[in-house]
């Protein structure tokens, strides 16, 4: 799958060489793609044990929203709302279970993972509503999860990073929303504008064709591609947003837009730290038990959360 021009480290190339090839997204049904992602995730390890992991629901505007609550200790002092990736249409609580466990274990904060409604059954903005509702319920002490009064961060990977950035924009100004953790995020809807899309269009776990397929599932024909609830980079005013951590992968179609969003946040006066992880591919953070760069970056992200919560405290 990998070759020298893709800029991967020897370790990353070795890891990808052990991953069975999959058909293009366009060649499978949505359900087949979901099952393929789940099967791949189950091969990547279980993550660390925690004090408590339980499934629950919160009450969103469209009905109950399934969540999974990870507690590293009986009485956590902070909470991260985590939003899984998978191109909006794929991924779920199981595909990102190990990553959520690691973030809870390394940061010491509770993690509430959101199982938002997915396209094509529920197209944009259903997922936005579910994520915003979950974060708002925690901020307003109405989630019923035993996490009242705690500082809150929102974060996620890929499409989950997109939804996290949107939630931070929608809920800006809330005193207890203290951080946004954007991991290899989608923040724009115009692939032709970003050189990284051309540079890494094929040959890696996330291709330009994959992103085209994801957008096809997520978007209706009449959607405004510059709607900030879809493309947070297109929001005209980024002032007043919570401090951010933006992590990009060096060999990823989404690299350039993620870094552009970090720069726009900085220009708007938002405290932001951006880290490009060279030599790795888009989904590298899910490989915590196989890839040293994934373990190190998970630790870095958890440290950023600890620092954000400590500053609030």
Q: Which member of 130, 133, 252, 293 is catalytic?
A: 252
C-alpha dihedral, 49 to 50 to 54 to 57, nearest 10°: -120
Give yes or no: 256 in active site: no
Is position 158 annotated as part of the catalytic site?
Answer: yes
The 3 state secondary structure assigned to 266-312 is: HHCCCCEEEEEEEEEECCHHHCCCCCHHHHHHHHHHHHHHHHHHHHH
Contact 194, 256 (CB under 8 A): yes
Query: Active site residue: 158, 164, 196, 251, which one?
Result: 158
Alpha-carbon distance of 66 to 228, in angstroms, equals: 25
Q: Note if 179 is an active site residue.
A: no
Q: Which residues are known to be catalytic?
A: 158, 252, 282
């Amino acid at each position: 799958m990998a070759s020298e021009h893709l800029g991967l480290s020897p370790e990353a190339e070795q890891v990808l060489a052990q991953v069975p090839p999959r058909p293009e997204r366009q060649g499978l049904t949505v359900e087949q793609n979901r099952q393929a992602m789940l099967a791949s995730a189950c091969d990547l390890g279980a993550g660390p044990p925690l004090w408590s992991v339980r499934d629950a629901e919160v009450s969103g505007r469209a009905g109950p929203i399934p969540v999974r609550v990870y507690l590293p200790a009986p009485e956590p002092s902070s909470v991260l709302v985590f939003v899984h990736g998978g191109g909006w249409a794929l991924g779920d609580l199981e595909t990102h279970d190990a990553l959520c466990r690691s973030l809870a274990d390394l940061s010491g904060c509770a993690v509430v993972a959101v199982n938002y409604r997915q396209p094509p059954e529920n197209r944009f903005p259903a997922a936005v509503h579910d994520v915003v509702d979950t974060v708002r319920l925690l901020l307003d002490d109405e989630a019923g999860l035993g996490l009242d009064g705690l500082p809150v961060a929102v974060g996620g990977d890929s499409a989950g990073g997109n939804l996290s950035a949107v939630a931070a924009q929608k809920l800006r100004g809330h005193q207890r929303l203290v951080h946004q953790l954007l991991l290899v995020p989608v923040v724009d809807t115009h692939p032709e504008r970003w050189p990284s899309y051309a540079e890494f269009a094929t040959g890696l776990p996330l291709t330009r064709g994959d992103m085209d397929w994801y957008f096809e599932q997520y978007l209706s024909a009449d959607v405004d591609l510059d709607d900030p609830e879809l493309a947070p980079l297109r929001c005209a005013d980024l002032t007043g947003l919570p401090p951010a951590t933006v992590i990009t992968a060096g060999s990823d179609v989404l690299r350039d837009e993620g870094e552009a969003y970090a720069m726009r946040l900085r220009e708007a006066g938002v405290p932001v730290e951006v880290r490009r992880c060279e030599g790795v591919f888009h989904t590298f953070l899910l490989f915590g038990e196989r890839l040293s760069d994934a373990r190190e970056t998970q630790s870095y992200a958890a440290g950023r959360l600890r620092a954000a919560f400590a500053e609030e405290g």
